[in-house]
Amino acid sequence: LQLALRKIKLAARFGGRAADIVEKTISVPERAYARVIGKHGGNLKSIEETCRVAIQVTKPQRKAGPPLSSAPSKQHVQEPGGKENNPSGGKAGVVNSGQIKARVSGFPDGIEKAISLLEKITMADTREVVVRETAAQLMRFNSFALLRSLEKEFNATMNMEKRSRGEDDEKASNDKMNGGGSKNQRTGRSVVIRITAHVDQANAAQQKLQEVADAICSKRLKVGRSAR
């Protein structure tokens, strides 16, 4: 009876026959719950409006566990809209694991589109590459042509964000002590480039961008030395 009532309401809402309304339930990684919902439910609402469907997602079961580190890493997840989310949850005393269910209701074509969008969100991964400002300047040349080319190659999105001077000073100090950091990261003001791509492409995109940034800095360093 509840299913029949849901179909009648959805048919009236979207315009069509109740008999044509179907439902499909898919599994979603529990760690991706926040990304699927989005800020103030924005992601879910957008999919519902775009695909003319209704989506109901079960809330994750919170389990007691040891504190999970929320320290930023180069393999963290960024939610659409700029909000970042640690894949492990990043909350003390909480363990997010397993799968949750998402029930999608509507007309068949809309359901398939909605599921495709949900899968795209749940399979997204975000990585970071830190580059010197000098390299970032060249990457901005010609309307970010270099980044747009890499985006196309890896089906990704890449966005620049300046680091604060405090972050740069701390990073430079740590690199000096540990002898780490790539050539383009060790000195000077830096810029963070965030790469969002499918999990199968994110690592390759990160490596390629790092190689490009290092090559730019190495070339500029050689030019500067020869000019002296």
Q: Is pLDDT at 77 greater than 90 in this prediction?
A: no
The mean predicted confidence, pLDDT, of the chain is 77
Q: At 95, phi and psi to the nearest 5? A: -120, 120
Answer yes or no: is pLDDT of 225 > 70: no
Highest mean pLDDT (candidates 38-47, 76-85, 172-181)? 38-47
Residue, of 18 and 66, whose pLDDT is higher? 18
- Count: domains in the chain: 1
Q: CA 91, CA 17: separation in Å to the nearest integer?
A: 45
The answer to whether residue 39 scores a pLDDT higher than 70 is yes
Q: Is residue 112 part of a domain?
A: yes
CA 195, 172, 190, 216 torsion-angle sign: negative
Indicate the pLDDT class of residue 101, thresholds 50, 70 and 90: very high
**What is the value of pTM for the model shown?**
0.52
Diameter over CA atoms, the chain: 83
Given this model, what pLDDT does residue 134 score? 85
CA dist., res. 137 & res. 193, Å (int): 12
| Residue 79 belongs to some domain of the structure | no
Q: Are the C-beta atoms of 105 and 11 separated by less than 8 Å?
A: no
Look at residue 181 in the predicted model and tell me its pLDDT: 52
Q: Which residue, among 33, 30, 96, has the nearest Cα to 68 in the 3D structure?
A: 96
Position 203: which residue type? Answer: N
Q: How many angstroms separate the CA atoms of 144 and 135, rounded?
A: 12
Tell me: pLDDT of 102 over 90.
yes
> Quick one: average pLDDT of 45-68?
79
Q: For residue 155, give its domain range.
A: 1-60+98-165+189-224
Q: Which of 96, 118, 110, 89 is nearest to 26 (CA)?
A: 118
- Is residue 53 in some structural domain? yes
Q: What is residue 53's DSSP assignment?
A: E
Q: Contacts by 29-32 with C-beta closer than 8 Å and gap 24+?
A: 29/99, 29/100, 29/122, 30/60, 30/61, 30/96, 30/97, 30/98, 30/99, 30/100, 31/77, 31/87, 31/88, 31/89, 31/96, 31/97, 32/77, 32/121, 32/122
In a domain, 77, yes or no: no
- Span 181-203, average pLDDT: 75
Residue 92 lies in a domain: no
Q: Is the pLDDT at 89 greater than 50, yes or no?
A: no
Residue whose tokens read 């089906």: 155
Residue 31: what pLDDT?
Answer: 82
Q: Specify if 181 maps to a domain.
A: no
Could you report the per-residue pLDDT of 135-144, keeping only the tens digit for each?
A: 898 899 888 9
Domain of 13, CATH number, reads 3.30.1370.10
Q: Classify residue 3: in a domain, yes or no.
A: yes
Structural domain includes residue 83: no
pLDDT band at 188 (very low <50, low <70, confident <90, very high): low
